[in-house]
Amino acid sequence: MKSLAELQKIKERALQRKRLGGQNARARIIVGMGTCGIAAGARDTMTAILKELEQRHIEDVIVTQTGCIGLCEYEPIVQVQVGSEELVTYGKIDTARVPELITKHIQGGEPVAEWIVK
């Protein structure tokens, strides 16, 4: 250890690994993982989301799960909340839709209107 700058680097690296406190998160992605969601492929959707975030080095988004929200026919359901904006609920998010969802809503900040459950 030679300097504060070096310490700062370790801190950033360690924070990336840990970054689950929730306070610093810029956005939340919530995947519906009720039995209905899992049956419709929510597990694969979740894996795809985690993989995409990792590949794009997006570090400030937390991914959590929730149970059935009562819209089983739209499963897999994914909810996205950026900052303090309103929670957006998407339906039928299979693995193919994940990259676009992340590009547009998480990175671009614009919800994908046609997938939103109304």
Stretch 79-98: interaction string toward another protein, x if CB under 8 A:
--------------------
Q: Which stretch binds another protein (CB under 8 A): 18-26, 70-78, 88-96, 108-116?
A: 18-26
14 φ/ψ angles, rounded to the nearest 5 degrees: -70, -35
Angle value at C-alpha 100, between 104 and 68, nearest 5 degrees: 95
Cα atoms found within 13 Å of the Cα of residue 85, Cβ hemisphere only = 16
If one asks whether residue 14 binds another protein (CB under 8 A), the answer comes out as: yes
Beta strand ranges found along the chain (DSSP E): 27-32, 61-66, 78-82, 88-90
Query: Helix (H, G, I), strand (E, B), or coil: what is residue 10?
Result: helix
If one asks whether residue 62 binds another protein (CB under 8 A), the answer comes out as: yes
If one asks whether residue 24 binds another protein (CB under 8 A), the answer comes out as: no
Which residues in this chain contact another protein in the complex, by CB under 8 A?
1-4, 7, 10-11, 13-15, 17-18, 20-23, 25, 31-35, 38, 47, 50-51, 53-54, 62-67
